[in-house]
Amino acid sequence: MGEVIDILLAVSFWVAAVRIATPLIFGTLGELICERAGVLNLGIEGIFTVGAMSGWMAVYQGMGLWGGVLVAVGVGMGFGLIHAGFTVGLGVSQHVTGIGITLLASSAAYFTYRTVLPDVTSPPRIEPFEPIAIPLLSDIPLIGPALFHQTALTYLAFVSVIVTAWVLYRTPLGLAVRAVGENPAAAEAQGISVVAVRTGAVAVGSGFMALGGAFLTMSAFNAFFFEMVGGRGWICIALVVFASWQPAKALLGAFLFGAFDAFQVRLQQSIGAAIPYQVFLMLPYLLSILALILVSRRAAYPRALMVPYRKGER
């Protein structure tokens, strides 16, 4: 018990929790935007990977950090447009297309990395985003350093949640996104182009996913590793359901998840070798499944999720 309290009172724990949460915030927001418009995007895991690789690679080739972020977002949106072309334009299976995008984007990332750097054994590092302390706020005990002494990308994640929530609930564009995800025929009758809104939502959402990947290589690990995304994309899909498709709850879910993950790492260190380390590494995945089980009974899926829309077809 004493160990648990020690962990919870350490500043480094709270800082780590927010750091772990940041890519999940981006990914969950991105998936949420796609699904609110009625499109399941299983390409997320691959888009994370390709975002991580392309942002890092751009910086490694001499671009600035923000240039790298833009490259990652652009590449992510590109894969999002392919996903939208298939699922919205052609109306083919969102499940299968998504898996295809994940396979394509991650193998494209790995292939590019290996082709540009054929001989490297230890992954080359870049100079990452530095933490920025926000005056006054970062002096608050525990919460201050956790929330207000982070890198620029973490602040961008916070702002993204607010902007997404505002757009979704307070603007005509957000209304259009929600309408095409709930009742596309009615939206079309209101003069909204279902194809355009869904395509746009998937592209923007995929851009967010790539940002989540870029955070890993440009803010957290400073290098690109194979398999580094490690299921974060799939965890985001579970978090969207957990968050009932609401941006604020997505933020909360990502924080809870980050706190849990940071906690298990520290618990693992204090327990030592009594329990195999793999058990601890399994916990995030099992927690995601548990989260899905807890909310599944009252999960209010967007009604047109996974239903392709063809004009004039019932």
Partner 1 sequence: MRLEPRESPGLGLRFAAPASAIVVALLLAAIPLAFAGAPLATAYAAMFDGALGSVFALTETLTRATPLILTGLAVTAAFRAKLWNIGAEGQLYAGALAAVVIASHAWSSSPFVMIPSMMVAGAAAGAVLLLIPTLLKTRLGVDEVVTTLLLNFVMLLFVSMMVEGPLQDPMSMGWPQSEPIVDEAVLPELVPRTRLHAGLIIALVAAVLLSLLINRTRWGLEMRAVGANADAARFAGMKIGRVMVFTAIISGGLAGLAGVSEVAGVRGYVTLDLSPGYGYAGIVVAMLAQLSALGVVVSAIFIAAVFVGADSMGRAMGVSSYLADLIVALSLLTMLVAGLVARYRIRWA
DSSP-derived letter for residue 133 is E
Instruction: Tell me the window of 71-79, 89-97, 157-165, 194-202 that interacts with partner 1 (CB under 8 A).
Output: 89-97
Q: Write the binding mask 41 to 80 for partner 1: x where contact by CB under 8 A, - elsewhere.
A: -x--------------------------------------
Pick from 103, 132, 162, 196: which binds partner 1 (CB under 8 A)?
Answer: 103
**Binding of partner 1 at residue 134 (CB under 8 A)?**
no
CB 98 within 8 A of CB 42: yes
Among candidate residues 60, 103, 107, 70, the one with its CA nearest the CA of residue 223: 60
Pick from 4, 8, 9, 96: which binds partner 1 (CB under 8 A)?
Answer: 96
- Strand pairing partners for 131? 151
**Binding of partner 1 at residue 288 (CB under 8 A)?**
yes
In degrees, to the nearest 5, what angle opens at C-alpha 207 toward C-alphas 179 and 221? 140
Q: Which CB atom, from 90 or from 133, has the smaller least distance to partner 1? A: 90
Pick from 133, 134, 186, 281: which binds partner 1 (CB under 8 A)?
Answer: 281
DSSP H stretches of helix in 117-219: 143-148, 152-170, 172-182, 184-189, 194-215
Query: Shortest Cβ distance from residue 81 to partner 1 (Å)?
Result: 13
Total residue count of the chain as it appears in this document: 314
Residue type, 262: A
CA-CA distance, 16 to 10, in Å (whole number)?
10
CA-CA distance, 186 to 200, in Å (whole number)?
19
**Binding of partner 1 at residue 163 (CB under 8 A)?**
no
**Binding of partner 1 at residue 214 (CB under 8 A)?**
no
Instruction: Tell me the window of 49-57, 62-70, 201-209, 292-300 that interacts with partner 1 (CB under 8 A).
Output: 292-300
Query: Shortest Cβ distance from residue 109 to partner 1 (Å)?
Result: 9
Give, for 269, the enclosing helix (H) or strand (E).
helix 247-271
CA distances from 218 to 65, 116, 166 (A): 8, 18, 28
**Binding of partner 1 at residue 238 (CB under 8 A)?**
yes
Q: Which CB atom, from 74 or from 91, has the smaller least distance to partner 1? A: 91
Q: Which residues contact 34 (CB under 8 A, 6 or more apart)?
A: 40, 41, 80, 201, 202, 205, 206
**Binding of partner 1 at residue 307 (CB under 8 A)?**
no
CB 301 within 8 A of CB 313: no
Instruction: Tell me the window of 6-14, 143-151, 181-189, 295-303 that interacts with partner 1 (CB under 8 A).
Output: 295-303
**Binding of partner 1 at residue 244 (CB under 8 A)?**
no
# residues contacting partner 1 (CB under 8 A)? 47
Query: Shortest Cβ distance from residue 125 to partner 1 (Å)?
Result: 21
Instruction: Tell me the window of 124-132, 149-157, 194-202, 226-234 that interacts with partner 1 (CB under 8 A).
Output: 226-234
Q: Which CB atom, from 95 or from 125, has the smaller least distance to partner 1? A: 95
- Classify the C-alpha dihedral 297-251-176-86 as positive or negative: negative
Query: Exposed, middle or buried, 38 (CB in 10 Å: 0-12/13-18/19+)?
Result: buried
Helices 152-170, 11-36: inter-axial angle, 10-degree rounding: 40
CA-CA distance, 250 to 2, in Å (whole number)?
31
Contact positions toward partner 1, by CB under 8 A? 42, 82, 86, 90-93, 95-97, 99-101, 103-104, 106-108, 110-112, 114-115, 118, 230-231, 234-235, 237-238, 241, 276, 278-279, 281-282, 285-286, 288-289, 292-293, 296-297, 299, 310, 312
